[in-house]
Amino acid sequence: MGNYIDQNFFTISNYFSGTVIFLLGIFLIREGYKNGEECIYRQLSFWTVVVLGISVSIDALGVGFSLLFHLDYGLIFEDSLIIGLIAAVITAAAFKIVHYIKHIALVEKYADYVGGLILLLIGLNTFLL
């Protein structure tokens, strides 16, 4: 079963996650274009954060399925803990960095475009690999 999932699911997973991330980039750029010069601070609802978290974590699902080859629960727990800690550290670093750069007018004006472009590039990279 692990071989079947490895051969069939990972290809679909890459296409799906790449497409979702690419579409998020397009929507972010579109929002930046619609808002123009206007500065808006987004208050994300709980469900928006949940959907965003799921959509950018689809690749972690592939990692989880790759662990099917090693059904050692200790190893699965250890790998999950490492992946979760790395994601938490990177997210916390992003919050700290944003705290300092959000007051720069140029960054504030073009943040949607830069974020959208980064998501487009990540989506293309995920989709094409």
Which tens digits make up the pLDDT trace of 75-124? Answer: 778 877 888 899 889 989 988 988 888 777 777 777 778 888 988 898 88
The DSSP line for 102-128 is: TT-HHHHHHHHHHHHHHHHHHHHHHHH
> Do residues 105 and 36 touch, judged by C-beta distance below 8 A?
no
Name residue, tokens 């960095």: 97
Residue spans of the domains in the chain: they are 2-128
Which tens digits make up the pLDDT trace of 42-64? Answer: 666 788 778 777 776 766 666 66
